[in-house]
């Protein structure tokens, strides 16, 4: 199914500039569940939550799971909402019900970069089976309009998915040769693609280029994967460092400045340690028509990007609030 790859506002800052993953044959139809747990079969999620020793990039595992009892789920939601929100407030079936947003920033040693982490938890009303389809999943990962997308990314242009190129950058799937050069089993990947196994999700690799607030240009290969079980949908993605030996594909950054004539020039550049994120929808045990959405994002931010200022962190809260409400509206519409 052709569609516009959008600049994401919600919480994945992810698809930061690339929007939803582009699966062979379109977004997978996840209506038919697989027996195994969504997290257990999602290799990207496992890499994010159980990274290699010494990696500064670490994302906390999801708090909710389809195997939990109603009591355990209630305790997890109560803990997430402390001290500001009661469970009843978080579960209110309203577009403007509160959501939980936590953000942290930790300097690395030596202090020339920081680890940024964002976590979002909120409830929404809807049928999981109705939401596990193209329109809602795209809404979950992407801003609702192109104007919102440009605002969220500081003015960057949206990607033209038909051409596979962005007006001021590009996003494209990798070739078999590029994948094999990184040691990826192309045959196995094809066997796990959305077009071959639509019931269980899909896996994809894309080269992405984009800008943050017209100040930083980032590039690299994103490895993304969708999985699900009877009561959970899990979407995860990360910048993949297996392509570090391929100069055109490795994760990199460039800092931009405008000169007196208004022309943009690169004033600093370097290799990038990258980032990753996941979004999970879990059925609420006490009410099958209530879902819990939780998302976590982590990225390494070099001090050279914004001179140590927490620019991304300051821009995210209003963008996230807007997108949470849009996601809830989409869920309501699909449940009518």
Distance between CA atoms of residues 226 and 293, nearest Å: 15
pTM of model > 0.85? no
Q: Rounded to 5 degrees, what are φ and ψ at 170?
A: -160, 155
The domain ranges of the chain are 15-335
What's the sign of the alpha-carbon dihedral 74, 76, 77, 79? positive
Distant-in-sequence, close-in-space partners of 95: CB < 8 Å, separation ≥ 6: 325, 328, 329, 332
What are 38-91's pLDDT values in tens digits?
666 899 999 999 887 778 888 899 999 888 999 999 999 999 999 999 999 999
Is 21:32 a contact under the CB 8 Å cutoff?
no
Section 111-134 average pLDDT: 84
Confidence band for 133, pLDDT divided at 50, 70 and 90: low
Distance between CA atoms of residues 159 and 19, nearest Å: 9
Q: Rounded to 5 degrees, what are φ and ψ at 235?
A: -125, 125
DSSP-assigned beta bridge partners for residue 239: 222
What are 241-251's pLDDT values in tens digits?
999 999 999 99
What are 182-216's pLDDT values in tens digits?
999 988 886 655 444 444 568 889 898 888 888 99
Distance between CA atoms of residues 287 and 277, nearest Å: 27
Helix (H, G, I), strand (E, B) or coil at 302: strand
Highest mean pLDDT among 16-30, 56-70, 152-166, 239-253: 239-253
What pLDDT is recorded for position 32?
A: 40
Distance between CA atoms of residues 323 and 308, nearest Å: 27
Residue keyed to tokens 């609420």:
284
What are 270-287's pLDDT values in tens digits?
999 999 999 999 999 999
Helix (H, G, I), strand (E, B) or coil at 94: coil
Is 240:204 a contact under the CB 8 Å cutoff?
no
Locate 315 and state its tokens. 């821009």
Distance between CA atoms of residues 165 and 245, nearest Å: 23
What's the sign of the alpha-carbon dihedral 205, 182, 227, 150? negative
- For the chain, the residue count is 336
């Amino acid at each position: 199914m052709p569609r516009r790859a959008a600049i994401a506002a919600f919480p994945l800052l992810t698809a930061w500039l690339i929007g939803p993953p582009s699966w062979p044959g379109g977004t997978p139809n996840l209506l038919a569940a697989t027996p195994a747990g969504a997290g257990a079969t999602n290799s990207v999620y496992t890499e994010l939550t159980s990274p290699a020793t010494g990696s500064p990039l670490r994302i906390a595992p999801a708090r909710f799971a389809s195997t939990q009892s109603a009591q355990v789920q209630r305790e997890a939601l109560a803990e997430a909402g402390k001290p500001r929100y009661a469970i009843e407030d978080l579960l209110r079936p309203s577009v403007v019900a509160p959501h939980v947003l936590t953000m942290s920033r930790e300097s690395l040693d030596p202090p020339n970069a920081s680890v940024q982490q964002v976590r979002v938890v909120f409830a929404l009303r809807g049928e999981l089976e109705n939401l596990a389809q193209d329109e809602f999943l795209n809404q979950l990962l992407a801003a609702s309009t192109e104007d919102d997308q440009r605002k969220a990314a500081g003015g960057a242009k949206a990607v033209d998915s038909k051409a596979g190129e962005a007006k001021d950058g590009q996003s494209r799937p990798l070739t078999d040769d590029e994948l094999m050069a990184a040691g990826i089993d192309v045959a196995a990947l094809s066997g796990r693609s959305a077009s071959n196994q639509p019931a269980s999700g899909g896996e994809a690799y894309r080269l992405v280029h984009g800008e943050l607030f017209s100040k930083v240009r980032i590039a690299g290969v994103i490895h993304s994967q969708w999985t699900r079980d009877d009561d959970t949908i899990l979407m995860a993605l990360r910048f993949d460092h297996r392509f570090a030996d391929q100069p055109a594909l490795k994760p990199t950054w460039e800092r931009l400045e405008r000169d007196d004539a208004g022309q943009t020039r690169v004033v600093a550049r370097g290799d990038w340690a990258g980032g990753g994120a996941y979004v999970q929808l879990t059925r609420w045990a006490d009410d099958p028509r209530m879902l819990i959405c939780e998302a976590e994002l982590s990225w390494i931010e070099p001090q050279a990007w914004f001179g140590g200022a927490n620019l991304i962190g300051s821009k995210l809260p209003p963008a996230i609030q807007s997108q949470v409400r849009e996601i809830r509206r989409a869920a309501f519409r699909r449940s009518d």
